[in-house]
Structure 1
Amino acid sequence: MEKSGNETWIHLGNGNDRLAGFKLTYSARIPSRDRRPSDYDVSYLEGMLPTGYLEERGPAAVRELMLDMASGLHFASGHAGLSFDSLVGDAFFTARIRTELLRYPGISLNHGSIPDWMGTRVDGVHWLNFLGLPVLQELGGVSTLRSRLHSPETTVQAIDEARALVTLGVWPEAGDLTRSDALPSYREFGHALEPWLDKPFNDPRFRVEGFTQEEAMKWARRFLD
């Protein structure tokens, strides 16, 4: 399959891909006749695997798959981890899992697209965290970042001189705030990354269906406060 020269969106999967848990979506940032892309426009590649794939193949195989995919991309940032995803969209879905979202900090919410105000900022803290330019350079590079992260579960791996992978544990963890499991390694990395994190809760367009504004802000800052 080849992408048409002016096509900006590709989706791969079968008719029931979101029910089966597999999908791959690409959205391109390209100039148009009306304007050039701004610094805040982004191209993104999104993939999804079912949890059964992780359980069957194991976390090492999933990590290697993600690393292999990322190694061929010129990325600013990227991530992989546990996430809720919905067939029917946020408006009908998020309210039904609000208790789970607030309880399990390691499970993110897949909004299905990248906010147009994100730019090169980093979209949260996850199990696998891919960092490229400019963030990795502004963090001081791989050695400096590694020296700031002391959790025994955390590893920092250089992909090349401009890209790195930060892995928070052998397995992706959900955490559980009812059991005081706030994922300390995620929190440590979140604090190191805070100046470069995307802050959608500062944007009036940010909302999470079924959440009050206070709950939405609390969820967005769950590894910072």
Structure 2
Amino acid sequence: MTTLTDSINQFEDYRLEEKALTLIEPCFCITLFTNETVTKEHAPESLLTPYRIFLEDFGDQTGWILYDGNQSDGVKITAKNRQVPDEWLANPKSRVKNNTIVDLYSGVNKRERRLPRLEWEYDKANPELNRPSRSYYRLALPLSWLAAQGIKGGEAYLARITGDYPLSWGYAGLALNYDAGEVVCRKDLLGYIGSWIERHPGIMSPNPRIEALWSSTISGLIGIGWITLLGLDYCQRMGGVAALAQKMASLSGVEVTPFNERGAMLRIGDAPLLGDVMKNDSLDSYRDVGQVLQPLHQISERLATDYLHVRGIEDEDAGKKWFNRFFVSKEEN
């Protein structure tokens, strides 16, 4: 049986450094999605709950902030610019007219995206294109943090960071942290990411922005993780916590527990797993959970006509296979 320490030690080896800078860093990620729409009349403070709690817990460990989509790199964090999200939400004209982005991170300079890190985006609805609003948070935390917290501490932090946030769904698991601006300009880095996510199905999406786009479009979940979170609506669509637990009862090692305001938290085993398709380990336990959650995963039909880009995977069919890796049978995939 793979322990939490085993998983962390194995994934630590996937770090990539160059000229004393860390380009790609293994991390424990918490990714949250919401279908909440901000309007002139509706601006829930809870939309900023993860941001504010992250600042409380890790603000003294981060030194840089990027808060404008036109910026290529961040600037040093100040008392003033850390209030940018609050100012955006408090201004009726700004929150309806403008999208917003925040990237808090550590690093020896503004170009190095180190842990701990928080990314948040909110993109407004576009009725002319029949496109709903979309939003996500990604927290990238050091693997040492997960080792210190353990399973119960990690689960407790998920409840804390989510709090009253209007969660639709989310996940927690292993991921690769990097500077997207640097990676998209370098084929070698794209290839590095692509090779590992295709080999190890347990590595989470390298681009949650794409997941947020399609999650809002289909009003469904795009993936699952070691821990998967369902908000109230998604949980009710599965019949509620008790019904969901009953559907998962036959799956070994899967725990279903209530989560913040009648949602549900699903955890697969006692450690996040990488899997390895080169060793015929495609994470059957994750696929078993995906099969149960299939009613919430409506992306397969869209994949027949729409292209969902996976950063690092250039082949379209390979990208479709990756998005469906836990939601179709082993024979189909």
TM-score bracket for the superposition, by shorter chain length: 0.7 to 0.9
**Is contact 1:80-1:129 (8 Å) kept?**
yes
The residue that corresponds to 2:315 in the other structure is 212
User: Judging changes above 3 Å, is the alpha-carbon distance between structure 1 residues 22 and 142 closer, same or farther for their aligned structure 2 residues?
Assistant: same
The residue that corresponds to 2:48 in the other structure is none
- Offset, 1:198: 5.4
The residue that corresponds to 2:136 in the other structure is 44
Instruction: Verify: 1:193 aligned to 2:293, yes or no.
Output: yes
CA offsets 1:25-59 (integer angstroms, 9 cap, x no match): 2223557xx86997732232221112232234433
Q: For residues 147 and 90 of structure 1, what CA distance do their matches in structure 2 show?
A: 44
User: Judging changes above 3 Å, is the alpha-carbon distance between structure 1 residues 117 and 91 closer, same or farther for their aligned structure 2 residues?
Assistant: farther
Gaps of 5+ in 1: none
The alignment's C-alpha RMSD in Å is: 2.8
Q: For residues 90 and 203 of structure 1, what CA distance do their matches in structure 2 show?
A: 25
The residue that corresponds to 1:9 in the other structure is 101
Matched AA of 2:308:
F
CA offsets 1:82-127 (integer angstroms, 9 cap, x no match): 1123222356333223332222111122215244332131130101
Matched AA of 1:23:
R
Deviates more, 1:37-46 or 1:81-90: 37-46
Q: For residues 43 and 36 of structure 1, what CA distance do their matches in structure 2 show?
A: 19
Count of aligned pairs = 223
Instruction: Verify: 1:20 aligned to 2:143, yes or no.
Output: no
The residue that corresponds to 2:215 in the other structure is 118
**SS of residue paired to 1:47:** strand
Instruction: Verify: 1:105 aligned to 2:222, yes or no.
Output: no
User: Judging changes above 3 Å, is the alpha-carbon distance between structure 1 residues 20 and 160 closer, same or farther for their aligned structure 2 residues?
Assistant: closer
Instruction: Verify: 1:62 aligned to 2:154, yes or no.
Output: yes
**SS of residue paired to 2:197:** helix
Instruction: Verify: 1:221 aligned to 2:315, yes or no.
Output: no
Q: For residues 21 and 121 of structure 1, what CA distance do their matches in structure 2 show?
A: 29
- Greater strand fraction, Structure 1 or Structure 2: 2
Deviates more, 1:12-21 or 1:138-147: 12-21
**Is contact 2:214-2:222 (8 Å) kept?**
no
Please point out which of 144, 158, 163 is paired with 1:71.
Answer: 163
Asked which structure has the greater CA Rg, the reply is 2
**SS of residue paired to 2:106:** coil
**SS of residue paired to 2:137:** strand
Q: For residues 234 and 131 of structure 2, what CA distance do their matches in structure 1 show?
A: 14
- What TM-score do you get using the length of structure 2 for normalisation? 0.59
Matched AA of 2:234:
V
User: Judging changes above 3 Å, is the alpha-carbon distance between structure 1 residues 156 and 38 closer, same or farther for their aligned structure 2 residues?
Assistant: farther
**Is contact 1:60-1:170 (8 Å) kept?**
no
Q: For residues 42 and 138 of structure 1, what CA distance do their matches in structure 2 show?
A: 20
- What TM-score do you get using the length of structure 1 for normalisation? 0.84
**Is contact 1:75-1:132 (8 Å) kept?**
yes
- Offset, 1:61: 2.2
User: Judging changes above 3 Å, is the alpha-carbon distance between structure 1 residues 109 and 47 closer, same or farther for their aligned structure 2 residues?
Assistant: same
The residue that corresponds to 1:89 in the other structure is 183
- Greater helix fraction, Structure 1 or Structure 2: 2
Deviates more, 1:135-144 or 1:50-59: 50-59
